[in-house]
């Protein structure tokens, strides 16, 4: 296995942290970029293989600084996985209560930052003559939400989430075509719902009814697919949206 240098944005999030641990266990060098820094004691791995950088991914100057620091320390960046998921405090409200200010902020913070992060890392990849970019979308970017899964709960699937995640799939395809013949691998991953402590049992049961077997996924289920896209086994896969959802979107 070829050891790589990989940036994980949103590296302290649910998927990002699970991915960072997996990559370090494999012996890769990992740069965790997040707007909130947490302890890395849980990683319990070679401290020389991990760097943690507090980064506001909505600020292009900070994105450039992040990439510059990575290249100075590790001389290269083989891949970037964009797991960042910034959201406003009122994220998740129903459409009837959606505020324009929050809508604008979430669209810029999630969709806008995806474009700017992609632009800056691809500029480095072009200088290197290679690179691998993986963006994270969602099954909500593929289909309409199955609203009945939220019945009997106070949960909902925000309309802006569907807009953002479908936009990320489009960005992936655009970039892959725009930079064709540049030795870049650009793909997207669309996970199903991820289990966490906030979900009610009723929602978990409703959700599982729409799946093949497991229902809500563990972060490692998504990480396995990302590891594949980072590996040489996925060579010649580009511009694709890989769905990992236990059949929910069928």
Other C-beta atoms lying within 10 Å of the C-beta of residue 3: 12
CA of residue 139 relative to chain centroid, distance: 13
**What pLDDT, on the 0 to 100 scale, is given for residue 88?**
94
Distance CA 36, CA 53 (A): 9
Distance CA 10, CA 57 (A): 9
Distance CA 141, CA 154 (A): 22
**What pLDDT, on the 0 to 100 scale, is given for residue 36?**
82
DSSP result, 42-66: GG-S-GGGEEEEE--TT-HHHHHHH
This model's pTM is above 0.85: yes
Distance CA 231, CA 77 (A): 14
pLDDT tens digits along 57-72: 999 999 999 999 999 9
Selection from 109, 159, 167, 106 nearest residue 135 by Cα: 167
**What pLDDT, on the 0 to 100 scale, is given for residue 152?**
86
Domains annotated for the chain, with CATH where assigned, are: 5-244 (3.40.50.720)
Which residues, 6+ apart, have CB-to-CB distance to 224 below 8 Å? none
The CA radius of gyration of the chain, in Å to the nearest whole number, is: 18
Higher model confidence: residue 8 or residue 50?
8
- Residue 148: its H or E element: none
Distance CA 83, CA 85 (A): 6
Distance CA 229, CA 238 (A): 9
pLDDT at residue 44 tops 80: no
pLDDT tens digits along 100-149: 999 999 999 999 999 999 999 999 999 999 999 999 999 999 999 999 99
Could you tell me the pLDDT band of residue 198, with boundaries at 50, 70 and 90? confident
Please identify which residue in the block is written with the tokens 């289920």: 221
Distance CA 187, CA 241 (A): 6
Q: Residue 216 in contact with residue 222, Cβ under 8 Å?
A: no
Q: Residue 211 in contact with residue 156, Cβ under 8 Å?
A: no
Could you tell me the pLDDT band of residue 156, with boundaries at 50, 70 and 90? confident
**What pLDDT, on the 0 to 100 scale, is given for residue 117?**
98
**What pLDDT, on the 0 to 100 scale, is given for residue 46?**
59
Which residues, 6+ apart, have CB-to-CB distance to 2 below 8 Å? 232
Q: Which residues are catalytic?
A: 161
Please identify which residue in the block is written with the tokens 């200010």: 101
122-133 residues labelled b (16+ CB within 10 A) or e (exposed): bebbeeeeebbb
pLDDT at residue 47 tops 90: no
Selection from 118, 113, 173 nearest residue 141 by Cα: 173
């Amino acid at each position: 296995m070829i050891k790589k240098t990989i940036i994980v944005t949103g590296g302290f999030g649910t998927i990002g942290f699970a991915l960072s641990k997996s990559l370090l266990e494999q012996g890769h060098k990992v740069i965790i970029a997040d707007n909130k820094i947490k302890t890395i004691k849980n990683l319990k791995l070679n401290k020389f293989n991990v760097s943690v950088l507090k980064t506001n991914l909505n600020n292009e100057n900070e994105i450039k600084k992040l990439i510059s620091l990575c290249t100075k320390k590790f001389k290269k960046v083989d891949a970037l996985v964009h797991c960042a998921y910034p959201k406003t405090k009122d994220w998740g409200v129903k459409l009837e209560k959606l505020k324009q200010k929050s809508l604008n902020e979430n669209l810029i913070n999630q969709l806008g930052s995806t474009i700017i992060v992609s632009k800056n890392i691809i500029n480095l990849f072009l200088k290197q003559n290679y690179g691998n970019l993986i963006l994270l979308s969602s099954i909500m970017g593929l289909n309409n939400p199955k609203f009945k899964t939220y019945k009997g709960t106070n949960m909902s699937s925000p309309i802006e989430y569907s807009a953002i995640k479908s936009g990320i799939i489009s960005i992936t395809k655009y970039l892959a075509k725009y930079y064709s013949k540049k030795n870049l691998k650009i793909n997207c991953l669309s996970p199903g719902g991820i289990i966490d402590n906030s979900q009610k049992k009723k929602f978990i049961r409703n959700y599982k009814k729409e799946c093949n077997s497991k229902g809500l996924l563990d972060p490692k289920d998504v990480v396995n697919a990302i590891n594949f896209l980072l590996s040489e086994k996925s060579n010649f896969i580009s511009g694709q949206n890989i769905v990992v959802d236990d059949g929910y979107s069928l």
